[in-house]
Amino acid sequence: MIAMFLAVALFARDASAGTWKLKSTEASEVAGAWHLYVKIELSSAPTLAHVPMKFMFVKTMVYERALVDGQKDPVVNRIALQNQMPQMLSLDVDFADGTGKVFKGTNFDFGVTRQLGFEAGEYKVQLRGADGVDVGGPQSVTLKGENPVVDRRSMVFSAKSSKDVKKVDDGTGAAKNAAPKNDTESAVPQNGDVAPVGTATSFIPADAYQKTEEEEAVHDRPKGCGCQLPSTRASSLSWLAVPALAGLVLVRRRKRA
């Protein structure tokens, strides 16, 4: 573990003093991929045969293919970009030959693809060690190819021409313009009449119209006043008897006199 730490530290010291360069600043797309060739030169041979390194791609220009008004074929627009997030590609760079001998310089090649998020355009590339130390300065590369077409044409809303209007004969021999008939019939009847369909249960049950025994008893009761109790009638007759008795007493007194 300590030996590995020392090896990484020695590599960081060597890498900070190294340089690198793209063999070609342009690469053509082949089957959705671009192949890049680089030459890396360190100040001294690293302690590891395979050194982990990172290639940082920052997109600066994209080649947009667009359909525009007045043009039959797509046109290419070079759109400049700013403040783009870098696309990182981590690779193990081989500094050894077939015999295992390690050198301070190496020729290395690798590929980038559309599946990794790359597209035709221009990029700034920076080589960086595993410890975050940059190797040399940034390089510029152009990835040549055809990006997917984007439709930039303006939308046009036009009315129906007179050719789409049918001619209807009204019986006088003169044809009149008529709007095309709608193929779908309206779901609502045109006459406005709606015929009932099916049967529905009544809200009032049938037994609601049958009278109960109590109602039948009240209905058959004899007619009469019935609003005056017997005790009440007797008391009223007693009050009528008082003047009659008083009259009899006066008659007897007159006879005696």
- How confident is the model over 166-181, as pLDDT tens digits? 555 556 655 555 555 5
Q: What confidence score (pLDDT) does residue 43 get?
A: 83
Asked if the structure places residue 251 within a domain, the reply is no
> What is the dihedral sign for C-alpha 5, 6, 10, 11?
negative
Asked if the structure places residue 184 within a domain, the reply is no
Question: Are 117 and 99 a contacting pair, CB within 8 Å?
Answer: no
Asked if the structure places residue 69 within a domain, the reply is yes
CA distances from 220 to 46, 182, 228, 244 (A): 126, 72, 20, 41
Mean pLDDT score, 190-211: 65
Q: Hey, which of 100-104, 177-181, 251-255 has the most confident mean pLDDT?
A: 100-104
pLDDT > 90: percent of the chain: 45
Burial class (CB in 10 A: 0-12, 13-18, 19+), 135: buried
User: Who's near 68: CB < 8 A, 6+ residues apart?
Assistant: 75, 152, 153
Read off the CATH number of the domain in which 107 is found.
Answer: 2.60.40.2550
d(CA 103, CA 39): 13
The total domain count for the chain is 1
pLDDT tens per residue, range 133-160: 899 999 999 999 999 999 999 876 665 6
CA dihedral 126, 129, 132, 138 (to 10 degrees): -10
Asked if the structure places residue 135 within a domain, the reply is yes
Range of the domain at 133: 2-151
CA distances from 184 to 35, 83, 180, 181 (A): 59, 56, 12, 9
Q: What confidence score (pLDDT) does residue 6 get?
A: 46
Residue 44 pLDDT class (50, 70, 90 cuts): confident
Asked if the structure places residue 97 within a domain, the reply is yes
Asked if the structure places residue 224 within a domain, the reply is no
Asked if the structure places residue 250 within a domain, the reply is no
Residue 241 pLDDT class (50, 70, 90 cuts): low
Asked if the structure places residue 238 within a domain, the reply is no
Q: What confidence score (pLDDT) does residue 14 get?
A: 45
Question: Are 178 and 170 a contacting pair, CB within 8 Å?
Answer: no
Helix (H, G, I), strand (E, B) or coil at 90: strand
Lowest mean pLDDT among 93-107, 163-177, 188-202: 163-177
Could you give the residue ranges of the DSSP H alpha helices within the chain? 2-16, 213-219, 230-256
Mean pLDDT score, 23-38: 96
pLDDT > 70: percent of the chain: 54
Q: What confidence score (pLDDT) does residue 66 get?
A: 94
Mean pLDDT score, 84-104: 94
